[in-house]
Structure 1
């Protein structure tokens, strides 16, 4: 049953054109440390936008970073970005639906509420629905069509805003191949899971092309009382066209996707979770998400001289969604958790209830902008100057359908037209400037200096009548922030390297901010050491000091004060910790055994009493686990048969601030240890078959209590697949 009331518009092509200089616009600090790097980069045709090109560059940056490589995507047949990013130190994942459809990703000082506190990009273009006015990532690129994922932390992230506290994630899509070739990846598994990725592309002289589609479906692993499947259907299409001249390049990219998923905000009581983690109440049987995304960009670049490159980028993204779902179900879950038998009977469908509101959470988003960058090699300095002009907006129009539950059936009884918070427009305009200087002071010392400026104006118009004929109530906010940063690497020897950095963090408040509210700001430090020999070892300590830590409030992520809209300022806070990495490839005759270990310890607390909100110094912040760990192990043989294990652990977390000071079990999640196994056999050089067991030991935990009740991780799931190149 499709309850979509979405108004979807595709902007004119002229607004969607973007131009940039292949991938050389986004030269890494490691490349920029070499005055000849810009010249070398221009001589090759690399049309995707990379922050860094490979793992070796990651391990030389004057700041912490991680690369989820094409190899890891391919080996693990990744279709859930949550599971991939759990292997990256300093990231915090709060699962929600078990499939990673709407990730909640945090990085260091940036907490995980709907990934709204980190900068999300695809091929260097901001990809959140409305990055300034409404950054909550209800859209996230389909993970299985990605070539790699880049995570950047520390001072170098000031090149990529607006969120500059915790980190940047750049999803890199499939590149145009150098020769005519195609790929076909197939997977089928339990619960009706079916994944298909197909692409074909190549080059003819100066021209290149790629066409690609990702198709996903599942019946879901949850069992709805008296209801239907709990799965999803996703279609994703991509086209790239390129032209490369003697000193110029063009790359056009167009993407479209749609999703229908039977997802809900309604979770379970703890008693029902203990009895059957995969149960869903019949009250949620008609809940359904419909969304559509379309984006286009054209990248153009001009090599002005041997040491000077100009790029311009323009982009447009449109996203529309209607998440039709029960509103206020948490009141029944909380009451039943407290022992209310009447509330439990309603959840079980055994008691009649009238006036249930099912809201069309219907919103249209649009974002567009133009970015100019100049890369200049000047002696020992590699400079990058840039400016971006950006606009985004959100149109929220959310009617409520009223149902009665009678004898366990849901019967439509009326409709409430949207007014107030369900009928509003929000928008933001922003200008960003940046200046980056990578200065090679000596053969051992590289100094990276960064300065970013953000000028953001946001506003909201909220209507008291459905037709928007009366004057709306208005609010607005304006903020201007200078964000300096500095970092360095120093080679202690051929194998040992020290690094450190400091930068100012910033998180815009969004379109609902009022004039007197201040954006979240912080001072972020990191320092560490690396060893690059037969092993790669890295230990980095980080410390983020917040003047005014904020939470972004939504129905998906209620703030610690219970608010579901706007922002909630929790006051001064400190998030500090330690990230450890170790990796190598062990050799046992004809067997190679790759090993990758990542561990993060985090202490995230209120650092000053806040009597107005009832917080005290030492209260633990929400959604930040104390310990996370991942271990990736492999056995690669000469017989074309390779096997891998991926082990991931995440600690329990607070649901609201201060759960460390009480014994209420409903204020925290549970820890979780999951092991995935993958075994691959190469039939030929071009064809590989595989079998994959996710959560092989079927470990189940309450991984989230948001939005409305206890929610499980994915159960043990077996699948088989084929990867074929032609």
Structure 2
């Protein structure tokens, strides 16, 4: 296997003007500041705050707080996001390494249609040019996860249709100390999370690591290689805040992670899945992902007056990956599903085959930018005014290794040099501006007004030779959009609140977009009500997204509806509408406290007008959007420190291709899934807690994905036991 990463080549045609703008913005950032509309000292940039604040948003949202993350021993972002209403999950490899998260009108392929942030900083490898989340922060080291929907999300971007996910990393402690969580379990799994830090005078600091190891739950035919992963993630923070004079603070954050995971795109035929969902064909035995991520951010905040705060963040992220894997293996699966004995023999290893292509899916990404913001408190009006200059790029250099299968073994033959789509550069330059007004009209009525501007220029250059002296093809695209929005809450009584909102959604097309393609835009509505007495919280919200131009981002992992594996595909007009509901309460049962949290989402997502270009028709269901999702979290807590919890999650079947409801072709849907997890925690001493987690208690495995190359299962019955202690 060849896994050498091609060095990033400087992209051509970069605008000198933008470079000078970046330099000017950096100067402004260091002298005055500007980022998030949030009150912080040495800490992360939150967009909502606490779970209680989420219950009064002039829009809709949720906060998965540190208590839930700790209680449920969360290592897989997919599982915790299933408990948030309005969020769609398509699992892939069972461990949550490459999540597919969708929110309301934003479908979930590679999480490329939602805005992903860590501590307020864009974290997708190429948020504009290549937003597909092949990198995702390690969930173990997060202290909370925020999900923001509705018109207030216009404060953030670039994806403004469905929602924002902001992951809040471990905070700097108020006093010197640390914490360690160590767990071991099924499939040779071990998870370790350590952090230590504190404060001294005006300074604060933190060092942290998360180490994840697993042998994987799949068994590979005729191979000694496991199907697991190894991840090392390191973070260091250094903060400062003023002791005298104007209130000031600064925070430097450094992050580095490395991953090796023996994961594949090759799934199973339906018959083989039914016989053993945890099998992997020997054709995928040499498939492996190797990647590393480096992130640096520097934020600064300064009070300019009693009513005005300026803040700034500079950020730079680099991500390099080589996912070496079989290319085109889905054709064998498709043929075997139709009864082709030769294709089945190739999958089983009993039939020799020549000319198998294993592509070095080798890419390097870089993103950088500066955000400036001014928060102005005018009493009844609280304004946020700011902007962001951002650049991102991807260097794709993908040689293809050819193997033959001989007597069930893979024999290397040759390497093909990358040309065309395998040898290309993509880039995007973006300017974003925003102004929001949180207006307390009177004691009962709060109005939130927002206006965002996005100006995006993208470009792709494909080369015909390894030296990149001959250009094979060039495409470019530019778009600019004004995105207005308004939302409100009205307190009918101290317990009852109404909310409503409307905003324009936007999704950039990516670096492969052609000149005449328009970005995805939509009009998004929400209307609902809340009831909150402290002990009981209930919320129900209807949402409606009307797309004038629904688009898909194409990749090998998530092919578009026309089969394309790069660029964009336009579906045309579409409507996604639904209802979210959640309930939270707790009651006493003898000496026990019983917390209960329920969440439900119903969605109807379909093409709303015939499209002669795409061939899609009115009424065709969109892919990756389940009709019904439900979760229930129930606890049994006792004063002696022994607490038990059950988490149940249900998700409907989903379309694999647009229009599966109007197609007679087989295997066009995933299967519905119901899974129950059990967690038990015992407070052994003041600073020491034991935990036991059983995932998928009833060992229920279904086809949760068919993309791109066959049927894939969720994680089977698994057990983990461990200890957490503070020091």
TM-superposed CA distance for 1:313, in Å, is 1.2
Structure 1: how far apart are the matches of 2:4 and 2:336? 31
Structure 1: how far apart are the matches of 2:562 and 2:473? 24
TM-score by length of 1: 0.96
Q: Determine the structure 1 residue equivalent to 2:317.
A: 317
Q: Determine the structure 1 residue equivalent to 2:627.
A: 626
For 1:20-419, what aligned pairs fall within 5 Å after superposition?
A: 26-27=36-37, 41=39, 45-227=41-223, 228-245=225-242, 246=244, 247-419=247-419
> Deviations 1:475-523 (Å, cap 9, x if unpaired)?
1000000000000000000000000000000000000001000000000
Matched-pair contact (CA < 8 Å) for 1:451–1:483: yes
Matched-pair contact (CA < 8 Å) for 1:17–1:296: no
Structure 1: how far apart are the matches of 2:630 and 2:559? 27
Q: Determine the structure 1 residue equivalent to 2:444.
A: 444
Q: Determine the structure 2 residue equivalent to 1:532.
A: 532
Matched-pair contact (CA < 8 Å) for 2:5–2:363: no
TM-superposed CA distance for 1:22, in Å, is 14
For the structure 1 residues 7 and 660, does the alpha-carbon distance in structure 2 shift closer, same or farther, using more than 3 Å as the test? Answer: same
Structure 2: how far apart are the matches of 1:560 and 1:274? 27
Structure 2: how far apart are the matches of 1:394 and 1:487? 37
Structure 2: how far apart are the matches of 1:447 and 1:169? 23
> Deviations 1:454-479 (Å, cap 9, x if unpaired)?
00000011001121111342110000
TM-superposed CA distance for 1:27, in Å, is 3.8
TM-superposed CA distance for 1:21, in Å, is 12
Matched-pair contact (CA < 8 Å) for 1:17–1:315: no
TM-score by length of 2: 0.96
For the structure 1 residues 286 and 109, does the alpha-carbon distance in structure 2 shift closer, same or farther, using more than 3 Å as the test? Answer: same
> Deviations 1:247-289 (Å, cap 9, x if unpaired)?
1111000000000000000000000000000000000000000
Structure 2: how far apart are the matches of 1:198 and 1:555? 36
Q: Determine the structure 1 residue equivalent to 2:466.
A: 466
Matched-pair contact (CA < 8 Å) for 2:66–2:143: yes
Matched-pair contact (CA < 8 Å) for 2:558–2:565: yes
Q: Report the secondary structure of 1:336's partner residue.
A: helix
Q: Determine the structure 2 residue equivalent to 1:421.
A: 421
Matched-pair contact (CA < 8 Å) for 1:399–1:416: yes
For 1:631-710, what aligned pairs fall within 5 Å after superposition?
A: 631-710=632-711
TM-superposed CA distance for 1:125, in Å, is 0.1
Structure 1 gaps, min length 5: 29-40
> Deviations 1:379-408 (Å, cap 9, x if unpaired)?
310000011000000000000000000000
For the structure 1 residues 651 and 611, does the alpha-carbon distance in structure 2 shift closer, same or farther, using more than 3 Å as the test? Answer: same
Matched-pair contact (CA < 8 Å) for 2:642–2:681: yes
TM-superposed CA distance for 1:231, in Å, is 0.4
Q: Report the secondary structure of 2:93's partner residue.
A: coil
Q: Determine the structure 2 residue equivalent to 1:33.
A: none
Matched-pair contact (CA < 8 Å) for 2:656–2:706: yes
Q: Report the secondary structure of 1:667's partner residue.
A: coil
TM-superposed CA distance for 1:378, in Å, is 1.3
* TM-align CA RMSD: 1.8
Q: Report the secondary structure of 1:518's partner residue.
A: coil
Structure 2: how far apart are the matches of 1:23 and 1:331? 54
Structure 1: how far apart are the matches of 2:604 and 2:405? 45
Q: Report the secondary structure of 1:343's partner residue.
A: helix
For 1:438-517, what aligned pairs fall within 5 Å after superposition?
A: 438-517=438-517
Matched-pair contact (CA < 8 Å) for 1:265–1:708: yes
Matched-pair contact (CA < 8 Å) for 2:181–2:194: yes
TM-superposed CA distance for 1:590, in Å, is 2.2
Matched-pair contact (CA < 8 Å) for 1:22–1:46: no
> Deviations 1:336-375 (Å, cap 9, x if unpaired)?
0011000000000000100100000000000000110000
Q: Report the secondary structure of 2:68's partner residue.
A: helix
TM-superposed CA distance for 1:198, in Å, is 0.2
Matched-pair contact (CA < 8 Å) for 1:297–1:314: yes
For the structure 1 residues 422 and 518, does the alpha-carbon distance in structure 2 shift closer, same or farther, using more than 3 Å as the test? Answer: same
TM-superposed CA distance for 1:663, in Å, is 4.0
TM-superposed CA distance for 1:685, in Å, is 1.6
Matched-pair contact (CA < 8 Å) for 2:154–2:483: yes
TM-superposed CA distance for 1:16, in Å, is 10
Q: Report the secondary structure of 2:187's partner residue.
A: helix
Q: Report the secondary structure of 2:685's partner residue.
A: coil
Structure 2: how far apart are the matches of 1:724 and 1:2? 42
TM-superposed CA distance for 1:707, in Å, is 1.4
Structure 2: how far apart are the matches of 1:490 and 1:101? 41
Q: Report the secondary structure of 1:271's partner residue.
A: helix
> Deviations 1:396-435 (Å, cap 9, x if unpaired)?
0000000000000000000100000000000000000000
Give the number of aligned pairs. 709
Matched-pair contact (CA < 8 Å) for 2:264–2:284: yes
Structure 2: how far apart are the matches of 1:22 and 1:338? 65
> Deviations 1:73-96 (Å, cap 9, x if unpaired)?
101111000000000000000000
List 4+ stretches of structure 1 deviating above 4 A.
14-25
Q: Report the secondary structure of 2:542's partner residue.
A: strand
For the structure 1 residues 286 and 23, does the alpha-carbon distance in structure 2 shift closer, same or farther, using more than 3 Å as the test? Answer: farther
For the structure 1 residues 128 and 531, does the alpha-carbon distance in structure 2 shift closer, same or farther, using more than 3 Å as the test? Answer: same
Matched-pair contact (CA < 8 Å) for 1:22–1:48: no
Q: Report the secondary structure of 1:191's partner residue.
A: coil
Structure 1: how far apart are the matches of 2:725 and 2:34? 31
Q: Report the secondary structure of 1:504's partner residue.
A: strand
Matched-pair contact (CA < 8 Å) for 2:34–2:313: no
TM-superposed CA distance for 1:587, in Å, is 1.4
Structure 1: how far apart are the matches of 2:721 and 2:30? 40
Larger mean Cα displacement after TM superposition, 467-476 or 162-171 = 467-476
Structure 2: how far apart are the matches of 1:206 and 1:139? 34
Matched-pair contact (CA < 8 Å) for 1:632–1:644: yes
Q: Determine the structure 2 residue equivalent to 1:552.
A: 553
Matched-pair contact (CA < 8 Å) for 1:8–1:320: no
Structure 1 residue 718 corresponds to structure 2 residue 719? yes
Q: Report the secondary structure of 1:379's partner residue.
A: coil
For the structure 1 residues 386 and 646, does the alpha-carbon distance in structure 2 shift closer, same or farther, using more than 3 Å as the test? Answer: same
Q: Report the secondary structure of 2:661's partner residue.
A: helix
TM-superposed CA distance for 1:649, in Å, is 0.4
Larger mean Cα displacement after TM superposition, 615-624 or 655-664 = 655-664
Q: Report the secondary structure of 2:667's partner residue.
A: helix
Q: Determine the structure 1 residue equivalent to 2:16.
A: none
